Structure 1
């Protein structure tokens, strides 16, 4: 994405409980982008080197803009696992996603809330981030239709081989998107206790101890 100079007549007061974290390789271009986003959107911004771990505690609501053009497959998987640990406080926005980026790959990102392509203009970028700040999503019509069509469907699993039920696969797919037990229960119209029971059985079947390990297992083993 070409970063141009943003024009704004007024500067907004930053939203103290929200932080925009740009994960990329530091450059004059990325620093300029953050400065202009902070000025135009009224949000606190930080730059995080894509090669460094996210060690600092997440105390505020974090909007992570991940520059996917700077990441290989291994780094992408690492960040997907990392962000899944902060699912209740993090929203993920992809920057510079390839135009042909598969939809199932987008779904791998925890709490994915927006996708921006190299062709995305500056107005679309700020509009998209503004939508996420309002607790909305910013997706292309094609990806939105895909999500609707895929909702509730069984995908990726060889159930006979893994012994995973359709309901367990649905829950694991929601888990990979960063959903909490409460959110999973609402999406699947079941109780939170039922979600916990399914997760307990699922963890035993795939030999993991927690949600993070389950997401990592899914990223490595789900059929595309």
Structure 2
């Protein structure tokens, strides 16, 4: 797909539920952005990325909480050769949760016009980011110190690493306990120690740290 002027080595992957509206958006983007474009079913796993860089345009309107967590985890595995662009982002979607996405590069809200969507995609393709002024200000006000503590420096145990990976999948404390055959109180104790070791305050920051520091 795309035209002869597409940027080599880069692809735009529209991740949503297949529909007439999705197909229409795909065709509109094909005529507006200089990238090869493909539609990917949001309910199917992400295949191996073969392009030099993939821009994932992720339709937030079509994802529930568990699907969001699943795609965040998948994105973390490929963070070196992809960028995340959130489409139809709810206006009340918390900034810390946006920041938790690996390689987040653009956020588009339903109120934005098509011209802004095209401008944002082209900006990311050029190596830039496309955020609102409010979100940019939020990012500038974040110290982000927890990101600078590497996995090797953290001293986390193998069990704590397992719990981190379950968090990346969106699992609750009860679900983690069932998956690892331990009590819920033990999970809470591990989380307390884990958060202290990697200097984070909540699960969202822990997932963000894991996406930056853990391979799987």
Corresponding residue to 1:213 among 165, 177, 202: 165
User: Segments of 4+ in structure 1 off by > 2 A?
Assistant: 55-60, 194-197, 212-215, 217-224
The TM-score with structure 1 as length reference comes to 0.69
Is there any run of 5+ residues in structure 2 with no aligned partner, and where? 173-190, 192-201, 205-216
Measure how far apart 1:57 and its partner are.
3.4
In structure 2, C-alpha distance between the alignment counterparts of 1:94 and 1:23, rounded to whole Å: 10
Where 1:32 maps in the other structure, the secondary structure is: helix
In structure 1, C-alpha distance between the alignment counterparts of 2:169 and 2:74, rounded to whole Å: 13
Corresponding residue to 1:22 among 6, 14, 36: 14
Q: 1:88 maps to which residue?
A: 80
Q: 1:54 maps to which residue?
A: 46
In structure 2, C-alpha distance between the alignment counterparts of 1:196 and 1:152, rounded to whole Å: 16
In structure 2, C-alpha distance between the alignment counterparts of 1:30 and 1:72, rounded to whole Å: 18
Q: 1:73 maps to which residue?
A: 65
Whether 2:125 is the aligned partner of 1:141: answer no
Where 1:63 maps in the other structure, the secondary structure is: strand
Whether 2:108 is the aligned partner of 1:116: answer yes
Give aligned pairs, total.
174
Residues 95 and 115 of structure 1 are in contact (CA less than 8 Å); yes or no, is this contact kept in structure 2? yes
Relative to 1, partners in 2 of residues 1:209 and 1:145: Cα closer, same or farther, differing over 3 Å? Answer: same
Where 2:51 maps in the other structure, the secondary structure is: coil
Residues 61 and 88 of structure 2 are in contact (CA less than 8 Å); yes or no, is this contact kept in structure 1? yes
Measure how far apart 1:90 and its partner are.
0.7
Whether 2:123 is the aligned partner of 1:131: answer yes
Measure how far apart 1:56 and its partner are.
3.3
Q: 2:187 maps to which residue?
A: none
Measure how far apart 1:196 and its partner are.
5.2
Measure how far apart 1:59 and its partner are.
3.3
The TM-score with structure 2 as length reference comes to 0.72
Corresponding residue to 1:195 among 145, 150, 166: 150
Where 1:15 maps in the other structure, the secondary structure is: coil
Where 1:147 maps in the other structure, the secondary structure is: helix
The CA deviation string for residues 67-109 of structure 1, in whole angstroms up to 9 with x for no partner, is 0000000000000000100000010000000111110110121
Measure how far apart 1:139 and its partner are.
0.6
CA RMSD of aligned residues (A): 2.6
The CA deviation string for residues 23-44 of structure 1, in whole angstroms up to 9 with x for no partner, is 0001122112122212221210
